[in-house]
Amino acid sequence: MTIIQNRILAIAMITLATYVLPPVIKPNDIPQNLNSTSTKTISLTAESQETNTSPTINDMRFYAGDGEFILNGKPFIIKAAELHYPRIPREYWEHRIQMCKSLGMNTICLYVFWNAHEPEPDRFDFNGQNDLSEFINLCKKNDMYVILRPGPYVCAEWEMGGLPWWLLKKKEIRLRESDPYFLERVDRFQKAVAEEVAGLTIEDGGPIIMAQVENEYGSYGTDKNYVGQIRDMIRKNFGDRLTLFQCDWASNFMNNGLDDLIWTINFGTGANIDKQFAKLKEARPESPLMCSEFWSGWFDKWGGKHETRSADKMIAGITEMLDKNISFSLYMTHGGTNWGHWAGANSPGFAPDVTSYDYDAPINEHGAATPKYHALRKALAKYASGKPATMPKAIPTGKISKFSFTDVAPLFPNLPSPKTDVEIKTMEDYNQGFGSILYRTKLPATSTSTTLTVNDPHDFAQIFIDGMYIGKLDRRLGEKSIQIPPVKAGSQLDILVEAMGRINFGRAIKDFKGITDSVTLSENRDGHIFVCTLRNWEVFNLEDNMEFYDSMEFMPLGAFSPGEDGRLPMGVYRATFTVSKPADTFLNFASWGKGLAYVNGKPLGRFWEIGPQQTLYLPGCWLKKGDNEIVVFDIIGPREATTEGFDSPVLDQLQSVTPPLHRKNSEKLNLSMESPVASGSFIPGNGWQQLNFAQPSTGRYIGIEMLNSIHGDDLAAISELYFIDEKGERISRESWKIRYADSEDVESGNHAADKLYDLQESTYWSTASGAKYPHYIVIDLGSEKRISGMQYLPRMEAETPGAIKDFRIYVKSSDFNYSK
Ligand code: GLA
């Protein structure tokens, strides 16, 4: 057995010896035909824009100089606040920009969400919430520079990472690759954005100092050709004087780094900053340094513990960067809200994101300053001359007294007219992007209980036979099959599938909704399994929009009482409520099931009783004095059809009181009968380490026994873990499940064991305090695999808390034994 304890990517460094530094673009390189005589610098203040001395093109430039960024002829440290305009009510845009300015930032960094701007091919929308040029002009008005991140892919916990769902109408499309159709569509979108921001780049006197090419491509693949195509498209559309950059992780930025782009690194609070930039400094000693996403907090997923990050660590990171002249963008400075259906989902392990994008950011979801904000403002003041800009007036919050819904339109009697199809098709095949879809067919007669298998339900399926609820299949939990009782020939099977957000991260972004392949019924007759594929479907497309809800027939709610399950019918609920003084409020959905809510036609987003989010943010600017209308589509049915407005949000209440641990109560892994296939010791320090097995092993269940830690304490932690196949390639983690973890810290933070394969290097599995070595993890790979090694990433902090030392690996085809 050999242990290669080098950092994996150090291999890539060998190539650096021959690496040629890209030419730094300097003002002198600007095309000759542009006048370049004066060296006067300009500032973006309204007054200077109005002076008669017209600055020359050389002044109005932003570029990477030797070790520093140069703006208008002077060194410039970017202190950027990440904000996403579609996540903030337009009425509050300026308030949020001013909050960022007052915090001590000088730049706003923003994504452009392609799918929000092009809801249908060639129908571009830059109005209302999508008015990009208005938002940028507001930045300019408030003396804030802008970094534009036009994708096409953005990630951002936004539906499909910003890509429009209609791309999936071409089943074979290769997303984020050199697929001709994909590239053609990207080009049209980039052209539309470029037209929208025309005149707003720094060279034209606007605030946009630079633009990003693609987004963290390293966590998707290695394809410099494609990234180069996106770069060329941005140059073609936005002009070739705009400075361009790429962002990636320290572990993979070299994979797709293009010679003529600035390279920046993304990492979160607590990370070892010197280590993060070490490789970049070696590769490009003269490059200015920037953390283009310094994560202030984190996002929440349905059914997961609410995420928070320490303010002290965030501030320590920012001050360390500023002391070292490192630019940064604080992602998120203000997260806002995933209105309507815009929340995305993460993967591996389908993990749909909640509606709030509060992110535990310094400015909270509704735009108020948090203690994190005040502490950061104080810290940033030390790096600025003069007093911080005054904070804008806080937007008031208020309560709305409890009110009851009056009308309901139950779903089943209100279905739209169906389409018919022999085989199952996805939502996209019916030109439907969002909402729910009902598949209906007739069942053959069965004499025993049978297994109904849905391949695959995307994302939350409910099964009914002759109108009776049988059960649900929740994609988050990997549920695909359900037992159904014997039925008469011709019984009606209904499968109601609700789509949640499309996956926004990793290869799984090609995320079709509805049922993706087939539905089968299998019966065990005398030990023989008979499988029949169900066909001949009636399909009802239930779009999530007001038009569909308005088409329904409403009845007085008084005519209904809760069923045996304590729930009122699933369907659309309506009420009118009175507001005397509109103010921001948080509607309580704790007594509701799962669905979407709208007030005065504005989509507030998804709610789900499982939590952790229990209230939906309702901005005061969307309320009227007097009567307001609320519409709620609940696909499970409420326990009580009432709501009320709180004056603060509830974002941290999981319905289940038991933390989601990967271990049944007193279960203990028993390895007494097993022998390890490999063992070894990790070395101290940050970065990836690799163990190669002496011989490949085949199996489905992998047990990792951790014997002790580098620091001699009891903590064990893993940021990311991969197994590698015989070719040295990483084995896909799409179907992984954690079968067992001896201990998980879900108290002090969200460090459950599934964090070790969530594709996020900044999140991690950690044992709880007090739990002693040896520690154990068992991973179910989903199917048998041939494994020839393992890659391990310890935590990113300089001290690598929980760094593991000695360990043993066990591989088995069937599950391990567990004792009570
Ligand atoms: C990455 C992406 C962002 C966002 C963050 C996590 O850095 O670039 O869009 O998804 O992760 O919040």
Q: What pLDDT digit, counting tens, does each position of 642-654 carry?
A: 999 999 999 999 9
Q: Is the CB of 266 under 6 A from ligand 1?
A: yes
The model's confidence at residue 661, banded by pLDDT at 50, 70 and 90, is confident
Whether 65 contacts 26, CB under 8 Å: yes
Q: Please work out whether the CB of residue 216 comes within 6 Å of at least one atom of ligand 1.
A: yes
Q: Choose the residue to mutate in 111, 114, 155, 763 for probing ligand 1, maximizing ligand atoms within 8 Å of C-beta.
A: 155
Q: For the whole model, what pTM was predicted?
A: 0.90
Q: Is 370 exposed, middle or buried (0-12, 13-18, 19+ CB in 10 A)?
A: middle
For residues 515-527, one letter each, b for 16 or more C-beta atoms within 10 angstroms of the residue's C-beta and e for the rest, the string is bbeebbbebeeee
Task: Give me the percent of the chain exceeding a pLDDT of 70.
Answer: 92
Residue 258 token pair: 């293009």
- pLDDT tens for 402-414 read 999 999 999 999 9
Q: Which atom of ligand 1 is nearest to the CA of 504?
A: 10
pLDDT per residue as tens digits for the range 733-784: 988 999 999 999 988 888 999 999 998 898 999 999 999 999 999 999 999 9
Residue nearest to atom 10 of ligand 1 (CA): 156
What's the 293 CA to ligand 1 centre distance in angstroms?
7
Can you tell me the mean pLDDT for 6-29? 33
Distance from Cα 265 to the centre of ligand 1, integer Å: 12
Whether 216 is catalytic is yes
The 8-class DSSP code of residue 114 comes to H
Of the candidates 214, 287, 279, 227, the residue with the CA atom closest to the CA atom of residue 253: 279
Q: Give, using CA atoms, the residue closest to atom 9 of ligand 1.
A: 156
- What is the number of the ligand 1 atom nearest to the C-alpha of 266? 7
Structure tokens at 304: 């997961």
pLDDT in tens, 676-717: 999 999 999 999 999 999 999 999 999 999 999 999 999 999
Q: State whether the beta carbon of 154 lies less than 6 angstroms from ligand 1.
A: yes
pLDDT at 64 over 80: yes
Is 159 near ligand 1, meaning CB less than 6 Å away? no
Residue 157 is a catalytic residue: no
Confidence of residue 32 (pLDDT cuts 50, 70, 90): very low
Integer angstrom CA distances of residue 130 from 127, 135, 195, 612: 5, 9, 14, 29
Q: What strand order describes the sheet that includes 419-421?
A: 419-421, 537-542, 436-443, 491-498, 460-465, 468-474
Distances (CA, A) of 321 to 178, 271, 277, 299: 36, 11, 11, 24
Q: Is the CB of 157 under 6 A from ligand 1?
A: yes
Please report the sign of the dihedral spanned by the C-alpha atoms of residue 658, residue 664, residue 665, residue 668.
negative
- Reduced to 3 states (helix: H, G, I; strand: E, B; else coil), residue 477 is helix
Q: What is the pLDDT of residue 659?
A: 61
Q: Is the dihedral of CA 703, 708, 709, 714 positive or negative?
A: positive
CA atoms within a 13 Å half-sphere pointing along the CA-CB vector of 319: 14
379-401 pLDDT tens trace? 999 999 888 899 999 999 999 99
Contact 798, 275 (CB under 8 A): yes
Distance 208 CA to ligand 1 centre (A): 21
Residues 6+ away with beta carbon under 8 Å from 212: 147, 148, 149, 150, 244, 245, 246, 247, 292
Going from the Cα of 76 to the center of ligand 1, the distance in angstroms, rounded, reads 25
Confirm if 44 and 143 have CB atoms less than 8 A apart: yes
DSSP state of 27: G
360 lines ligand 1 (CB under 6 A): no
Q: What is the pLDDT of residues 239-275, one digit of tens each?
A: 999 999 999 999 999 999 999 999 999 999 999 999 9
C-alpha of residue 224 to centroid of ligand 1, in Å: 21
pLDDT at 169 over 70: yes
Q: Which amino acid is at 220?
A: Y
Beta carbon of 155 within 6 Å of any ligand 1 atom: yes
d(CA 136, CA 146): 7
Separation CA 25–CA 235 (nearest Å)? 14
Rounded to an integer, what is the distance from CA 570 to the centroid of its chain? 29
Q: Is 758 in the pocket of ligand 1 (CB under 6 A)?
A: no
